[in-house]
């Protein structure tokens, strides 16, 4: 094991979010614009062997958590094969998946068998018409089927990500919380981020007052246990059977404890969602760099990681869409 991966601000990097495709079968209003066609060409996607080399290099430097994202990762063919390759890498101790769940009923069992143990599912509403408005597709029934397939496969925990949007779905938060409590899911409420025109037009809401309402309504107290390696701050019911996480990148940023980087489907490392610093690994991989050279390149990339985002002061800075970065 090499020395741990630490940025110039003393933050240890322990989490890699790995996009396996920039395609998606939905068009969520805050993520990808309708009619968008600027997808990466398949010949520029990292192959499974290239992805495995990158993850192995990160793992040798102490990065033990890997999350597969997109786009919609389940649109990448043979994804369980990639999972099985990553699961046996020394140092990789946690493989999770972010999905919209429309395809999950087809793949849940195979993904679990390959080594995925935790999933996050995007679900912004329990109203069929509202979901169709947000996602641009008739997606609700397939997502519900995917959630049940996930439970049956054994994923634990199953977290539901709800991007809170004023005048769109904010009236459903109490209902969504009760649904998650009843089903054994963990709800996570997320502030919309101003990435691209889609993100900036997403009716941002400060979730601080929402948290206060939920704490009072369900007698929530701060959760003591860690529930993944991410930025959510969790609160639980007295019996610990109900948990809600709050992700507040705008109203209460968590940059000082940021522990992650993202890699897009073409092998570009992004150091921060709210900054432009990036480092391209694909040219190095296809030029035949050694493992030592690859690790050195990753360390150089981490040196580019900024201290914090500037979503509050420069809302128009990031023109790329969330789907292009990796969720």
Phi-psi region of 284 (alpha: psi -120 to 50; beta: other; left: phi over 0): alpha
Cβ pair 25, 102 in contact under 8 A: yes
pLDDT at 199: 45
**C-beta atoms surrounding 288 within 10 Å:** 7
In a domain, 193, yes or no: yes
Domain that holds residue 216: 15-325
pLDDT at 110: 98
Q: Is the dihedral of CA 61, 63, 64, 67 positive or negative?
A: negative
pLDDT at 230: 73
| Helix residue ranges, H only, the chain | 48-60, 79-87, 104-114, 128-135, 140-153, 173-183, 196-200, 208-218, 282-286, 291-302, 322-325
User: Does residue 299 register a pLDDT over 60?
Assistant: yes
SS3 content of the chain, % helix, strand, coil (to 5): 35, 15, 45
Q: Which two tokens stand for residue 21?
A: 């495709």
Mean of per-residue pLDDT scores for the chain: 90
In a domain, 73, yes or no: yes
- Model's pTM, two decimal places? 0.90
The total number of structural domains in the chain stands at: 1
- Please state the length of the chain: 327
For the chain, the distance separating the N- and C-terminal CA atoms, rounded to the nearest angstrom, is 28
pLDDT at 249: 76
User: Does residue 261 register a pLDDT over 90?
Assistant: yes
Q: pLDDT tens digits for 59-87? A: 999 999 999 999 999 999 999 999 999 99
In a domain, 9, yes or no: no
Using only the alpha carbons of the chain, give its radius of gyration: 19
Q: Residue 233 and residue 227: Cα distance in Å, rounded? A: 9
Cβ pair 102, 139 in contact under 8 A: yes
In a domain, 8, yes or no: no
Q: Residue 123 and residue 130: Cα distance in Å, rounded? A: 11
In a domain, 107, yes or no: yes
Place of tokens 């509403």: 125
In a domain, 1, yes or no: no
In a domain, 2, yes or no: no
User: Does residue 244 register a pLDDT over 60?
Assistant: yes
Q: Residue 151 and residue 79: Cα distance in Å, rounded? A: 19
pLDDT at 322: 58
Place of tokens 């969504």: 176
Peptide bond before residue 71 is cis, with ω within 30 degrees of 0:
yes
Q: Which two tokens stand for residue 255?
A: 């940059």
Q: pLDDT tens digits for 162-213? A: 999 999 999 999 999 999 999 999 999 999 876 545 544 557 789 999 999 9
Cβ pair 203, 168 in contact under 8 A: yes
Closest by alpha carbon to 296, among 50, 61, 83, 43?
Answer: 61
CATH code of the domain in which 200 resides: 3.20.20.70
Cβ pair 258, 8 in contact under 8 A: no
């Amino acid at each position: 094991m090499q020395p741990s991966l630490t940025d110039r601000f003393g933050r240890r990097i322990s989490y890699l979010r790995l996009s396996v495709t920039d395609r998606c079968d939905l068009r969520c209003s805050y993520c990808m614009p309708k009619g968008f066609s600027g997808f990466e060409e398949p010949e520029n996607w990292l192959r499974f062997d290239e992805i495995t080399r990158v993850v192995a290099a990160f793992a040798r430097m102490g990065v033990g958590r890997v999350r597969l994202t997109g786009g919609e990762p389940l649109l990448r063919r043979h994804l369980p094969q990639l999972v099985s390759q990553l699961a046996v890498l020394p140092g990789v101790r946690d493989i999770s998946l972010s999905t919209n769940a429309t395809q999950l009923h087809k793949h849940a069992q195979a993904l679990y068998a390959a080594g995925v143990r935790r999933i996050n599912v995007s679900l912004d509403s329990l109203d069929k018409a509202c979901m169709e408005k947000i996602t641009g597709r008739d997606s609700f029934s397939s997502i519900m089927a995917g959630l049940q397939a996930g439970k049956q496969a054994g994923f634990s925990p199953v977290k539901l990500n709800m991007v809170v949007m004023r005048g769109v779905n904010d009236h459903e938060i109490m209902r969504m919380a009760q649904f998650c409590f009843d089903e054994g899911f963990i709800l996570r409420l997320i502030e919309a981020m101003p990435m691209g025109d889609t993100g900036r037009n997403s009716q941002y809401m400060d979730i601080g007052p929402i948290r206060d309402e939920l704490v009072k309504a369900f007698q929530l107290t701060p959760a003591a246990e860690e529930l993944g390696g991410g930025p959510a701050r969790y609160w639980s019911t007295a019996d610990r059977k109900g948990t809600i996480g709050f992700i507040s990148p705008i109203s209460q940023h968590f940059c000082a404890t940021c522990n992650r980087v993202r890699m897009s489907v073409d092998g570009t490392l992004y150091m921060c969602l709210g900054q432009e610093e990036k480092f391209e690994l694909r040219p190095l991989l296809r030029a035949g760099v050694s493992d030592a050279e690859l690790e050195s390149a990753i360390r150089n990339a981490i040196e580019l990681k900024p201290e914090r985002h500037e979503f509050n002061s420069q809302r128009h800075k990031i023109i790329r869409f969330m789907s292009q970065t990796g969720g």
